[in-house]
Amino acid sequence: MNLHIVLCTLCSVSLVAQDIFIPLKESYGNLKMPAEINGFEMEFIFDPGAYNVILSPEKASFLFKNGYLSKANIGGTTWSRIADGSIRKGTTITIDNIVIGGLILYDVTAIILDGKNTSNLFGLSALKKVARYSVNNITTMLEITPFPDADYAGECVVGNCETGQGKYVYFDGAYYEGAFLNGSFHGNGRFVWTDGDVFTCTYEQGVCSGKSEFIQNDGTITRGTYVNDLKEGIFTIHYLNGKEIKELYKNGELVCTEMQ
């Protein structure tokens, strides 16, 4: 893997788009799926026939009372035709983000539908945020192909990933462990890719600025110094066969190479 510095907020990271597989659970003739609304985990009925995401009044009330939704999310009044043909009044809202299978869907339109026995439905207003989707009837999986610029959620699994020492795992399994300040890499830390490549550096507000070491999965080790995320000075590359190369960089640009 080519070395690159990961600069992102800790809520998400952009990766190469990859298909996502979400298990669907059969229940009383419906297929149910897990999702997170602004960080709250809940269960929806998968319903591509519904034009919008639908929330029951009970669930919406819980989300508002506990800070997962606010007045800023509220739109206006609307009327919706439901499956039995009747018309119900509802309130439109915009959900900041819904996470399914690690994929973040932003600014999803939803309706809080008045009336009793309203189900929480995962409808087209969310599904239109992905490139393609289908249900595999053999595996009972919702298979999703995201758009190329999709964002993926990660999780702080150890310590304090806001300000302190912690370990933050990204959607694809890559992770950063080390020091944080105000949600950014700050201090000594290392980034580990899923293929085994490891990059260690001293960070300042998310930017690599200090001595670094890049250990590739083939055993190649590169050491040098970064200034504001750019290579600066002499970088030494050691290979397993004993070969060594020195490279001189200025403002991130390779000036010359010396082989030994």
Distance CA 215, CA 248 (A): 19
Calpha distance 37→64 (Å, rounded)? 11
The CATH superfamily holding the domain 17-145 is Acid Proteases (2.40.70.10)
Q: What pLDDT is recorded for position 8?
A: 36
Tens of pLDDT along the chain (260 residues) come to: 444 333 333 334 444 457 889 999 999 999 999 999 998 999 999 999 999 999 999 999 999 999 999 999 999 999 887 777 778 899 999 999 999 988 999 999 999 999 887 899 999 999 999 999 999 999 999 999 999 888 888 888 889 998 999 999 887 778 999 999 988 899 999 999 988 999 999 999 889 999 999 999 999 999 999 999 999 999 999 999 999 999 999 999 999 988 76
Q: What pLDDT score does 206 carry?
A: 87
In sequence order, what are the residues at sequence separation of 6 or more whose Cβ sits closer than 8 angstroms to the Cβ of residue 225?
Answer: 210, 211, 212, 231, 232, 233
Give the pLDDT confidence score for residue 147 in this predicted structure. Answer: 92
Given a contact cutoff of 8 angstroms between Cβ atoms, the answer to whether 123 and 51 are in contact is yes
What CA–CA distance (Å, rounded) separates 36 from 246? Answer: 49
Instruction: Give the number of residues written for the chain.
Output: 260
Domain boundaries, the chain: 17-145, 154-259
Q: Are 253 and 227 in contact (CB under 8 A)?
A: no
CB atoms within 10 A of CB 104: 20
Backbone angles phi, psi at 242, to 5 degrees: 95, -10
Rg (CA), the chain: 24
- The span from the CA of 35 to the CA of 126, in Å, is 11
CATH of region 154-259, choose from 2.30.40.10, 3.90.930.1, 3.30.360.10, 3.10.450.50 = 3.90.930.1
